[in-house]
Amino acid sequence: METAVTRGVRVEVRTWFLAGQSDPKRGIWAHAYEITISNESDITVQLLSRHWVIRNEDGVEEHVRGPGVVGEQPRLAPGERFQYTSGCPLDTSIGTMVGTYEMIDEQGNRFEVDIPAFTLAEPYVFN
């Protein structure tokens, strides 16, 4: 599990390969990731938007930006957490994702929270 903490907001990532949705012969490797966002600060924060940088094995980069995550813009009081699962198809057997969440605190201050870099890989690709 990969973890990053920014201004008291912890982001943890867990990944897995989706063999049933992948077809390497056609250049499709499907992955899922679960993210847990925990507010360890002493003020309420809200997630406004996301920015992902997805790189395949060949170094080709894709930027994905948008409001919220999985259709939500969760508000987290101190001690609360939000968890969601999403997916990412790749056209190579290995890739990486990294990014940021734009947050706003209860005083109206906007700030970015780091999403730790993580690897998406077909099982046994490193052996």
Alpha helices in the chain (DSSP H): none
Cα dist from 23 to 93, 125, 126, whole Å: 10, 15, 19
Tens digit of each residue's pLDDT (9 = 90 or more) over 68-112? 999 999 999 999 999 999 999 999 999 999 999 999 999 999 999
CA dist 29 and 98 (Å) reads 18
What residue ranges do the domains of the chain occupy? 2-121
Tens digit of each residue's pLDDT (9 = 90 or more) over 32-60? 999 999 999 999 999 999 999 999 999 99
The pTM assigned to this predicted structure is 0.93
CA dist 13 and 1 (Å) reads 6
Residue 67's pLDDT band, with cuts at 50, 70 and 90, is: very high
Tens digit of each residue's pLDDT (9 = 90 or more) over 4-33? 999 999 999 999 999 999 999 999 999 999
CATH of domain 2-121: 2.60.40.1470
pLDDT computed for residue 38 by the predictor: 98
